């Protein structure tokens, strides 16, 4: 059989169109494809929910690829090991309470298992705004990352979701958009974004979980975005808190959907 360029092109357009059209209305939409977003997406999809993820970059994985300072190993504490086991990531015990994983193997396994569980992932797409209905976030406003990078004036498209998770990491981009449009209305102690504090691994890992919650009606924060929003410290290249945050936001949302 001679391969035909037009069949190849039509196959890609057809299949992508199917994915795109089937993700216009969702139970949950996740912004950011780092470890916290991926774990959240996996558990929500596994529970049968309609869940979609948007990632600005070509690659999924956020800050996990680089381990610590490009030493491509991550540390995960005992409390989060069950999550790596659930995904089937290879884990090595380092000493009591501390485990390591190859960051490349870890993030590629999280990504693969999430997609296989049913998470719809769109890479190369940036979230630039939210849909707002009076006092609640009800969807996302999207554009191609290439449009964002080129600075062309091209209007976006939109998708609906019952709940949004801001898993954009240190940048906490969705919360920033909401705070800009309705200043002072966040469910933090000041109504504003509290800002990430300096490194304190132990405290940060506990606070990440407490900070993983709803910050505005319909909008949850997970991972580093949770710490940046509620004023928690950073933890450095220990990833248990990110994984547990993804698990927690999925659990909390499953009680509400």
**Nearer of residues 8 and 180 to ligand 48H, judged by Cβ:** 180
* Span near ligand 48H by CB under 6 A; candidates 42-50, 90-98, 112-120, 222-230: 222-230
| Measured distance CA(218)–CA(116) in Å, rounded | 26
Which residue intervals of 47-90 are DSSP H helices?
81-87
Which residue matches tokens 């979701």?
Answer: 161
Radius of gyration of the chain (CA): 18
**Smallest separation (angstroms) from ligand 48H to the CB of 194:** 16
Q: Which residues contact 129 (CB under 8 A, 6 or more apart)?
A: 140, 141, 156, 177
| Measured distance CA(165)–CA(250) in Å, rounded | 10
Q: Which does 104 bind (CB under 5 to 8 A by kind): ligand 48H, Fe ion, none?
A: none
Q: CA 131, 111, 158 angle in degrees (round to 5)?
A: 15
Using DSSP bridges, classify how beta strands 51-55 and 25-31 pair: parallel, antiparallel or unpaired: parallel
β-partners of residue 219 are 164, 216
**Nearer of residues 4 and 168 to ligand 48H, judged by Cβ:** 168
Q: Which does 54 bind (CB under 5 to 8 A by kind): ligand 48H, Fe ion, none?
A: ligand 48H
Q: How many residues bind ligand 48H (CB under 6 A)?
A: 31
**DSSP single-letter state for residue 198:** P
Site for ligand 48H in 20-59 (CB under 6 A): 31-37, 54-57
* Span near ligand 48H by CB under 6 A; candidates 15-23, 80-88, 112-120, 218-226: 218-226
- In a 13 Å sphere around the CA of 224, the CA atoms on its Cβ side amount to 24
Q: Which residues contact 9 (CB under 8 A, 6 or more apart)?
A: none
What Cα–Cα distance (Å) separates residue 2 from each residue in 7, 11, 12? 11, 16, 18
Among 147, 236, 251, 254, binds ligand 48H (CB under 6 A): 236
| Measured distance CA(181)–CA(127) in Å, rounded | 15
Q: Which residues bind Fe ion (CB under 5 A)?
A: 63
**Smallest separation (angstroms) from ligand 48H to the CB of 14:** 25
Q: Which does 243 bind (CB under 5 to 8 A by kind): ligand 48H, Fe ion, none?
A: none
Binding status of residue 242 toward ligand 48H by CB under 6 A: yes
Tokens standing for 30? 């996740």
Binding status of residue 126 toward ligand 48H by CB under 6 A: yes
Binding status of residue 169 toward ligand 48H by CB under 6 A: yes
Site for ligand 48H, rule CB under 6 A = 31-37, 54-57, 62-64, 126-127, 167-171, 173, 199, 223-225, 234-236, 239, 242
Please enumerate, by residue number, every residue annotated as part of a binding site for NAD(+). Answer: 36, 55-56, 63, 127, 153-155, 224
Please enumerate, by residue number, every residue annotated as part of a binding site. Answer: 36, 55-56, 63, 127, 153-155, 170, 224, 234
């Amino acid at each position: 059989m001679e391969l035909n360029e037009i069949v190849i092109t039509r196959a890609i357009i057809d299949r992508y169109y199917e994915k795109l059209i089937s993700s216009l209305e969702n139970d949950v939409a996740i912004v950011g494809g780092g470890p916290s977003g991926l774990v959240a997406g996996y558990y929500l999809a596994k529970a049968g929910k309609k869940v979609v993820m948007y990632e600005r970059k070509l690659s999924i994985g956020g800050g996990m690829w680089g381990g610590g300072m490009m030493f491509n190993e991550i540390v995960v504490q005992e409390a989060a090991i069950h999550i790596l086991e659930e995904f089937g990531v290879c884990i090595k015990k380092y000493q009591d309470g501390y485990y390591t994983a190859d960051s490349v193997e870890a993030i590629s396994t999280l990504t693969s298992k999430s997609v296989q569980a049913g998470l719809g992932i769109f890479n190369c797409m940036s979230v630039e705004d939210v849909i707002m209905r009076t006092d609640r976030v009800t969807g996302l406003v999207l554009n191609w990352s290439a449009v964002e990078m080129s600075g062309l004036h091209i209007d976006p498209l939109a998708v609906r979701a019952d709940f949004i998770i801001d898993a954009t990491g240190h940048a906490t981009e969705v919360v920033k958009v909401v705070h800009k449009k309705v200043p002072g209305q966040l469910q933090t102690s000041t109504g504003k974004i509290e800002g990430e504090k300096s490194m304190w691994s132990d405290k940060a890992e506990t606070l990440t979980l407490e900070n993983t919650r709803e910050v505005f009606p319909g909008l949850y924060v997970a991972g580093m975005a949770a710490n940046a929003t509620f004023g928690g410290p950073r933890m450095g290249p220990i990833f248990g808190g990110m994984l547990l945050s993804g698990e927690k936001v999925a659990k909390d949302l499953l009680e509400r959907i």
